């Protein structure tokens, strides 16, 4: 993928098709994982090499993942890790309210670069836990 738009559109489409977060429970808290070995991935996980078990099982955030395994990370992610950190947060948050807040931050910082008019942004928000939407 060559643009933030293409990467975001692809990742959003995949997590919506998946229908759920890619996470596991640890100490009564949901922890995101890039891939669960069963075909599910987080937003960023869809942009990584699905066959790389070390990457897929990493618990690190985007910046740490780049620092640890830079050569395995696509250039589009390395070129703007902040965008992908926010996109990952958009995936990781479980409630509609939290997802709306992250989308607002993304729009504030990237509205000139990424078109947020795709209905998939709202679809992912609506798939969140109901917290008075």
The whole-number pLDDT of residue 131 equals: 67
The whole-number pLDDT of residue 22 equals: 87
Q: For residue 50, give its domain range.
A: 4-119
Q: Is the pLDDT of residue 126 over 90?
A: yes
Q: Tokens for 72?
A: 């395995």
Return d(Cα 87, Cα 123) in angstroms, integer. 14
Return d(Cα 128, Cα 96) in angstroms, integer. 5
Residue 133 lies in a domain: no
Confidence band for 14, pLDDT divided at 50, 70 and 90: very high
The whole-number pLDDT of residue 90 equals: 95
- Choose among 22, 19, 16: nearest CA to 48: 22
Q: Is the pLDDT of residue 133 over 80?
A: no
Residue 81 lies in a domain: yes
- pLDDT tens profile 51-68: 999 889 888 899 999 999
Q: Count structural domains, the chain.
A: 1
Mean pLDDT of 101-111: 96
């Amino acid at each position: 993928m060559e643009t933030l738009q293409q990467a975001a559109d692809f990742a959003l489409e995949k997590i919506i098709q998946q229908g759920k977060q890619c996470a596991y429970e640890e100490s009564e808290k949901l922890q995101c994982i890039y891939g669960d070995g069963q075909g599910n991935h987080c937003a960023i996980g869809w942009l990584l090499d699905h066959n790389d078990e070390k990457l897929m099982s990493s618990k690190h955030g985007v910046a740490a993942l780049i620092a640890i395994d830079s050569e395995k990370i696509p250039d589009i992610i390395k070129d703007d890790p902040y965008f992908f950190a926010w996109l990952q947060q958009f995936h990781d948050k479980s409630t509609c309210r939290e997802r709306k807040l992250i989308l607002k931050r993304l729009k504030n910082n990237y509205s000139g670069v990424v078109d947020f008019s795709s209905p998939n942004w709202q679809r992912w928000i609506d798939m969140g836990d109901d917290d008075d939407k």
